[in-house]
Amino acid sequence: MGKKLRVAMIGAGNLSTSVHYPSLDVLEDVEIAAVSELDEARMNKAREQFKIPKGYKDYKAMIEEVAPDAVYLVMPPQILFPHALRCLEMGVNLFIEKPPGLTVDQTRHLARKAESKGLVTMCGFQRRHAPLVVPALEEARRRGGVDLVVASFYKWYDDSSAYFNGEVDILTSDCIHAVDLIRYAGGEVKQVASDVRNRRHDYPNFFTALITFESGATGVLLGNWSAGARFFTCEIHARAYTSFINVEVEARSHSENGAEPLVVKAAAAAGGDEMFKRGGFLNQNRVFMDCVREKGQPPNSIPDSVKSMELVERIYREVMK
């Protein structure tokens, strides 16, 4: 196995401790060496639960003293940029959660800094790594490539002020998961036609888009934050192949006009029913740790995430009249 990779965590909030800490904790070649968190109670709880030897309030002191192989920076997007930039300036390989910035320009700036320093980075688009999505995309590519990808993200959300305190729009901060999965499956964007609306609210909460790609694939985005419940689903279509995927639940795949689908449960594909396994977080963190060890770039690096932010910008800009 070799020497364990030493990781330092900035932030011990609900997202971190429910999906990232558990993912890293089960990786045998990884050690969570330290955590930095301003809330002492949360820091102590994380240290006790995951047996983390060191805790800090100042993450800069943590990075200097611990000299980790990688840093996880998980915090709300409206305060992410200056801290991500500082970490990159300190020369550490960096994982950040989505969105990778409030704007395309912020994301480009982080990407340029990471590239100039030769650092390994990742942005948390875990649906690419979900146990039901990975084999469907592999099968589509084996058959000559994706022809059509549809990603649907639905939620019921009735208070824009609670959405990151109203400082970040829904498409950039959350529905970007669906945008990114479509782009990852389709490739380089060619054209976009979209419809963005305020449905029963005074902020955009309804997003549809038709996207064509240089590869010949077509992507369809369906986003609605005025829906009846939370769902994240996708469809992958290729030559004589279709997979309907409820990403955290099950996939139903058809090939060669077969009447009976192949049904695979997410828990079975993930090797466990925990959300951090079913949702793709464990796979994603495994990929990032492998890239840190091998000094390669993961598919969802910060430089790559610029393209997803650019596609979000085009969906807003290229609204059908």
Q: Give the pLDDT of residue 300.
A: 97
For residue 190, which phi and psi values (nearest 5 degrees)? -105, -60
Q: Give the pLDDT of residue 316.
A: 97
Write out residues in the chain with pLDDT < 50, as ranges.
none
Tell which of 126, 153, 183 closes a domain. 126
Tell whether 13 and 116 lie within a shared domain. yes
Tell whether 169 and 313 lie within a shared domain. yes
Q: Give the pLDDT of residue 160.
A: 59
Tell which of 97, 126, 155 closes a domain. 126
- pLDDT single digits (tens) 162-208: 565 667 899 999 999 999 999 999 999 999 999 999 988 888 999 99
Tell which of 94, 126, 158 closes a domain. 126
Q: Give the pLDDT of residue 28.
A: 97
d(CA 274, CA 22): 10
Instruction: Write down the H helix ranges in the chain.
Output: 14-15, 21-26, 40-50, 59-66, 80-89, 104-117, 133-142, 170, 176-186, 266-270, 275-278, 281-294, 302-317
Domain extent for 120: 5-126
For the chain, give the mean pLDDT.
Answer: 95
Q: Give the pLDDT of residue 200.
A: 83
Tell whether 254 and 309 lie within a shared domain. yes
- pLDDT single digits (tens) 118-162: 999 999 999 999 999 999 999 999 999 999 999 999 998 877 555
Tell whether 193 and 256 lie within a shared domain. yes
The CATH number covering residue 202 comes to 3.30.360.10
Q: Give the pLDDT of residue 321.
A: 74
Q: Give the pLDDT of residue 164.
A: 59
Contact between residue 56 and residue 34 where contact means Cβ atoms under 8 Å apart: yes
Q: How many Cβ atoms are within 10 Å of 148's Cβ, its own excluded?
A: 16
Tell whether 72 and 149 lie within a shared domain. no
Tell whether 105 and 154 lie within a shared domain. no
Tell whether 60 and 175 lie within a shared domain. no
DSSP string, 71-127: EEE---GGGHHHHHHHHHHTT--EEEESSS-SSHHHHHHHHHHHHHHT--EEEE-GG
Tell whether 77 and 90 lie within a shared domain. yes
CA torsion angle 17 19 22 27 (round to 10): -140
Tell whether 116 and 147 lie within a shared domain. no
Tell whether 115 and 248 lie within a shared domain. no
**Domain assignment present for 297:** no
Contact between residue 114 and residue 316 where contact means Cβ atoms under 8 Å apart: no
Domain count, the chain: 2
Tell whether 90 and 42 lie within a shared domain. yes
Tell whether 164 and 310 lie within a shared domain. yes
